[in-house]
Amino acid sequence: MKISIRHKLFATLLLTTVIVAVGLFFFLQWNFDRGFLNYVKSQEVEQLDRFAVQLTGYYVQNGSWQFIARNHPLWRKIHRDASHLSDIEERIDPQRGKVFPGDEPLPPPEILPPRLPRDLGPRIVLFDADRRWVIGGPPDVARRNNLTMRPITHEGKAIGYLGLIPFKELSHSGDLLFVEQQTESFVLITIVMVGLSLLLTFPVTIHLLRPINSLTKATRQLIAGQFKTRIAVTTADELGRLSDDFNILAMTLEKNEKNRQLWVADISHELRTPLAVLRGEIEAVQDGIRQPDPDTMAALHGEIIHLERMVNDLYELSMSDIGALNYKRVKVNPAGILVGTVELFEQRARQKGLELSTDLDVDDSCSLLGDPDRLHQLFTNLLENSLRYTDSPGKIAVQAEVDKGMVVIRIEDSAPGVSSEQLPRLFDRLYRGEGSRNRATGGAGLGLAICKNIVDAHQGRIEAGCSPLGGVLINIQLPLYRGA
């Protein structure tokens, strides 16, 4: 049988409260018993002292303890007189200093133990000044060492001792009644605490589980594909932080889902265009509208090359995303690869009326760990992008330098430029900066996305900005090799 977290939490809180309440009951009971026994002992010692004062008078009248030695009737009479005297002292008015024999003593408060005179006679033992037994108690009482001894003094001299045999358990009716009442009170308090905890634990459990239930419900909605789901954050504790993390996860999934939908739509659009051109050209040849001459074949071949290039780019991006794109790690000179790539574009730049200049402040000793083929692809895509979008006459400038352990490569061109709002999106897939998206000048919008993946794979950074020449500035930073 599965037990829900609600029942587990409820049982935990209730069990904790019960354990605390029961523990508190036993602690209070133990503390009360100890305190009450000390109180009873203090009362007995006080009564023993009054009895010693009365015995002093008898001793002065008789001159010794011989008058009471083994005289049990007289011993019991003195006990009764002492108990009667204690009862009278309890009824003395402290303000007027008078005794009111006819008045009943006021009952003590319920929270205090009773102050009734106790019959200590069987437990009181009288000793002389040399601690020899005179009367009282069992015969072997003189050999006991656990007696409570109180001196009987006269004119500053000890004339005898009163010993009190400790009691083994409470026997006075008032004491027993008081202990019973206090025990009942403790039991009642414990029951009330457990009852209140039972009433409070359920709503507290519901309150604590409310954010967890919200998380559970929202997670199921997220599993069902409802990525717009959000959770209201009502606390600042761990559950609140978990709710924040859930909302961030939901926003990330929603963004990824939107990007996926746009990605599929853009790919469909990009693939449909060359396929439509190919279909139209082939149907025109089939219908006899166009002849299968070299010009027609060249147009069809160009569309196939464009389609093949876009499929290859998509494949490379997909392989990079899943980590399956292989990169060779060898020591290479980035300046050499850059110079070789620039030389491939010099003739095309002149044919288009563009000035391609280089300023490479990197010597042959600078090297980095990278893939020469991927770096060549990186520089080719960037130069191809500048060559395609720069108006004639124009200028393309390539610079390279070493700065703080990084090789910094800048490729910038002249007008037209890109607005500051478009700059952060240049590395997005299938995004092209020109507004018309004319296929005569624009590609599929995958070249810069591939460049970013290549730079990231080399632990570098690539950024786009506005060029002083009026076009776009691409800034690349790649870490140099730090080996021995």
| Residue 107, pLDDT score | 42
Query: Fold identical between 238-321 and 330-479?
Result: no
Integer Rg of the chain from CA: 52
Q: Show the low-confidence residues of the chain (pLDDT under 70).
A: 1-7, 82-121, 139-145, 167-176, 266, 269-270, 273, 317, 320-326, 429-445, 483-484
| Residue 303, pLDDT score | 77
Q: Where are the alpha helices (DSSP H) in 322-411?
A: 334-352, 372-389
DSSP 135-170: ESS-GGGGG-S--EEEEEEETTEEEEEEEEPPPSS-
| Residue 114, pLDDT score | 44
- DSSP E strand boundaries for 90-129: 124-128
- DSSP E strand boundaries for 115-258: 124-128, 133-135, 148-154, 157-164
| Residue 88, pLDDT score | 45
Count CA atoms within 13 Å of residue 238 on its CB side: 3
Are the C-beta atoms of residues 228 and 251 closer than 8 Å to each other?
A: no
pLDDT in tens, 291-313: 888 888 887 887 788 778 778 77
Provide the β-strand partners of residue 396. 356, 413
CATH architecture of 238-321: Orthogonal Bundle (1.10)
- Three-state DSSP at 254 gives helix
Token pair, residue 120, equals: 């200590």
Strand arrangement of the beta sheet that strand 148-154 belongs to: 133-135, 124-128, 157-164, 148-154
Distances (CA, A) of 356 to 28, 75, 284, 402: 94, 133, 41, 21
Give buried/exposed letters for 290-325 (b at 16+ CB in 10 A, else e): beeeeeeeeebeebeebbeebeebbebbeebeeeeb
pTM: 0.48
CATH code given to domain 330-479: 3.30.565.10
Count other Cβ atoms within 10 Å, centred on residue 218.
Answer: 19
- Rounded CA-CA distance 142/148 in Å is 12
| Residue 171, pLDDT score | 54
| Residue 360, pLDDT score | 86
Amino acid at 45: V
- Rounded CA-CA distance 483/405 in Å is 12
Count other Cβ atoms within 10 Å, centred on residue 382.
Answer: 24
Q: Is residue 470 within a helix (H) or strand (E), and if so which, with residue range?
A: strand 470-479
Domain range list for the chain: 5-175, 238-321, 330-479
